Amino acid sequence: MGVGIGCGGWSGGVREQTNKTIHGVSCLCTLQGTVFPLHIKFPLRRIFPCPSIVFLFKKFVTLPRTTSNPFINLVLMPTKRLIGLFAVGAATFAVVAIAGLVVSTMGTFLVNGVPHLSWQFLSEAPRNNNTEGGIFPAIYGTTLLVLVMSILGVPIGTITAVYLNEYTRAGAVLPRVIRFAVNTLAGVPSIVFGLFGLGFFVQFLGGGMDKVLGNTEAVWSQPALLWAAATLAALTLPVVIVSVEEALKTVPREMRESSLALGATRWQTIWKIVLPNSTTGILTGSILAIGRSAGEVAPILFTGVVYSLPQLPDGISSQFMHLGYHLFVLSTQSPDVDKTLPLQYATTLVLLLLTFTLNFAATFIRSRLRSKQIR
Amino acid sequence: MGKKPLETKIQATDLSVYYGAKQALHRISLDLYEQEVTAFIGPSGCGKSTFLRSINRMNDLVPTARITGHLGIDGVNIYDSSVDVVELRKRVGMVFQKSTPFPKSIYDNIAFGPRLNGITERKELDRIVEESLINSALFDEVKDRLDASAMGLSGGQQQRLCIARAIAVNPSILLMDEPCSALDPISTAKIEELILELKKLYTIVIVTHNMQQAARVSEYTAFFYMGHLVEYGKTRKIFTNPSKKETEDYVTGRFG
Ligand SMILES: Nc1ncnc2c1ncn2[C@@H]1O[C@H](COP(=O)(O)OP(=O)(O)O)[C@@H](O)[C@H]1O
Ligand SMILES: [Mg+2]
């Protein structure tokens, strides 16, 4: 399924070759969107469907002729074989496409972005209408956003997952409602999250806070880092919940029972046995989910990000700059787009490095966990 | 043995257990005696584990499980609504077929139960850990590495650690569900020896598929078949002179 989406995204991306940067980013976003949700559920080697190709091939193409029934031999088998060949072909295409994408886009950004990376670029603010200078405020804003989002999203996601996985019985109404809500949430386009964030967090919550606190001018009822982080946390929630649940499920039933048999309450068992034994999985899943949304622009568009800032945000009620949005600004809003091309490449590279660092951190923790389990 | 008067520790009367619509135990009535070892034997799926798990209410964890009848410990019906399950489980220890040490140090494994009971004083914990390890015949093998991970112990040692962990909360009953079925003969022999020691302190119920083991460690034996208690009595009688045909067939290995 992910493979199909990958192909779709790829061919969609090809048509859009007018702006190379945007094309590349959209491809990579598609790639991330395709790969990482899978990544959370399956081991890394499953991302690239090589084993599945072999499996498909075995399943459909090399069928033995074991019957004399003409319908099976003349209709069913050839049809199956055709489907099989098609599946194998599609899967192979997807592998080649994904591999090609990774190599070509990463290559492009490395070749064009690295020369422009410098200490000044990383540590200075943009100058001259974003055509010169660095991107430090955007790095700062993105990092802060990711931090606040994690602080908001991971605990809520973990608590929800613990509730769903440990406290509810299959078939009960409330967990089913929650699951339905979570699944629905996962399917909502991210721009809708942005609008939701504006309506709910900025206007409703923020407006309410200003009223309660008696602020005469808008303090909380305007787009801010806090609201952008909250919106992103909401966007990330379904993925966090699913991956934490997966982590909780790796704790064997016997271990829980041993704890309960010793007279531990359910909560003591969760706190002392289940959570400590799934910390690594919870961390991995959360980091992947966070890495996935660190580059999201749509949800923060109405809730806190700005075009440029005179100074760094001085708190969570300030607005902020963001790498992804900055890239968009550079490549579409600049008076001279060609002049900013090196800036675009370098910015993209920094954004990718940031998200990839998160992903690699998760993979690293996961492999550590694996080797521990084997012992 | 046989000098002390027999006292009933666990008393089941018309105990039935259902999993959904399926009845796993049919009106079981039997008395288990204090400080004796009782063996449960019978073919797989006959309800031995179900009965065992009814004694510490582990079946409460199975959403579909339903229980009728009476199960008393020291004269109190443990399915009475006034009974605190957590307290009950502290009095009824359990050792599982698969040894399940927590991925913690040996010390922390054994101190887990006492800590739940609010014991935090290091001296007291040290004493409990040492005593439990001595009583589970593991002390000499691990005394120099109490802080090492319990996962590094051998299978037999892990199972004795689980026994130590269970007795560290000072229960009066010890339930063992096929504790040796995953162990080699030497480890099995050690555990059997241990069971004979432990019966001086605890009422022990052991599920086993090994007839020789039942004969070696238990004073009483209950034979279950398809959710029914077929025969219950002195182990020697069950093995040498059973009154039911099914029992004889089973203990002589003709089926099961
Ligand atoms: N959690 C459960 N849900 C449904 N049926 C169960 C469950 N546990 C056991 N059973 C059924 O109850 C019967 C008795 O099982 P069990 O007590 O485990 O037998 P034994 O320990 O003697 O092998 C079996 O038929 C088994 O399939
Ligand atoms: Mg069993």
Predicted local distance difference test score (pLDDT) of residue B50: 96
Q: Whose CA is nearest to atom 2 of ligand 1?
A: B19
* Contact partners, residue A309, CB within 8 Å, separation at least 6: A137, A141, A319, A320, A321
Tens digits of pLDDT across chain A (375 residues): 333 333 333 333 333 333 343 444 444 444 444 444 333 333 334 444 455 566 666 665 555 556 677 777 777 777 877 887 888 888 888 888 888 888 887 888 888 888 888 888 888 888 877 777 888 889 889 989 999 999 999 999 999 999 999 888 777 888 889 888 888 888 889 899 999 999 999 999 999 988 898 888 888 888 999 999 999 999 999 999 998 998 999 899 999 999 999 999 999 999 999 999 898 888 888 888 888 888 889 999 989 888 877 778 888 888 899 998 988 888 888 777 777 888 888 888 898 888 888 888 878 877 776 665 543
Domain-by-domain residue ranges, chain A?
Answer: 3-113, 119-374
Predicted local distance difference test score (pLDDT) of residue A61: 57
Report the DSSP pairing between strands B203-207 and B220-225: unpaired
Predicted local distance difference test score (pLDDT) of residue B256: 56
Contact B102 A252 (CB under 8 A): no
Predicted local distance difference test score (pLDDT) of residue A75: 77
A150 Cα to chain B: minimum distance (Å) = 28
pLDDT, average across residues B85-114: 94
Rg (CA), chain A: 24
pLDDT, average across residues B42-47: 94
Contacts made by residues A7-11, CB under 8 angstroms, sequence distance 24+: A7/A90, A7/A93, A7/A94, A7/A97, A9/A33, A9/A34, A10/A97, A10/A98, A10/A101
B69 Cα to chain A: minimum distance (Å) = 22
Fold of the domain spanning A119-374: MetI-like fold (1.10.3720)
Q: Cβ distance A109 to A349 under 8 Å?
A: yes
pLDDT bracket for residue B3 (50, 70, 90)? low
- Determine if ligand 1 sits within 6 Å of the CB of residue B45: yes
- Ligand 2 center from residue B96 Cα (angstroms): 10
Domain-by-domain residue ranges, chain B?
Answer: 8-101+171-251
**Option in B63, B93, B96 nearest A257 (CB):** B96
Residue type for position B220: Y
Q: Does A261 touch chain B (CB under 8 A)?
A: yes
Residue A279: name the closest of A256, A252, A253, A248 by CA.
Answer: A248
End-to-end CA separation in angstroms for chain A: 35
Q: Cβ distance B24 to B59 under 8 Å?
A: no
Burial class of residue B69 in the structure, from the number of CB atoms within 10 Å of its CB (0-12 exposed, 13-18 middle, 19+ buried): middle
**Option in B61, B103, B116 nearest A262 (CB):** B116
Interface of B with A in 47-76 (CB under 8 A): 56, 58, 61, 63
pLDDT of B26 higher than 90:
yes
For Cα atoms A188, A154, A210, give the angle at the middle one, nearest 5 degrees: 75
- Secondary structure in 3-state letters for A286-318: HHHHHHHHHCCCHHHHCCCECCCCCCCCCCCCC
Contact B113 A257 (CB under 8 A): no
Q: What does pTM read for this prediction?
A: 0.77
Q: For residue B153, give both structure tokens.
A: 């112990």
Q: pLDDT tens across B123-179, in order? A: 999 999 999 999 998 999 999 999 999 999 999 999 999 999 999 999 999 999 999
Q: Whose CA is nearest to atom 27 of ligand 1?
A: B45
Predicted local distance difference test score (pLDDT) of residue A11: 34
Alpha-helix runs per DSSP H in B56-121 = 85-91, 106-116
**CATH of B8-101+171-251 given 3.10.450.50, 3.40.50.10860, 3.40.50.300, 1.20.1630.10:** 3.40.50.300
Contacts made by residues A165-168, CB under 8 angstroms, sequence distance 24+: A165/A245, A165/A248, A165/A249, A166/A248, A166/A266, A166/A270, A166/A274, A167/A266
End-to-end CA separation in angstroms for chain B: 31
Residue A143: name the closest of A320, A5, A302 by CA.
Answer: A320
Backbone dihedral angles phi then psi of residue B206, each to the nearest 5 degrees: -125, 130
Residue B136: CA count within 13 A, CB half-sphere: 28
Q: pLDDT tens across B103-124, in order? A: 999 999 999 999 999 999 999 9
DSSP letter at B152 equals: G
**Alpha-carbon gap, residue A145 to A137, rounded angstroms:** 12
Predicted local distance difference test score (pLDDT) of residue A63: 55
Residue B40: CA count within 13 A, CB half-sphere: 29
**Option in A259, A262, A277 nearest B103 (CB):** A277
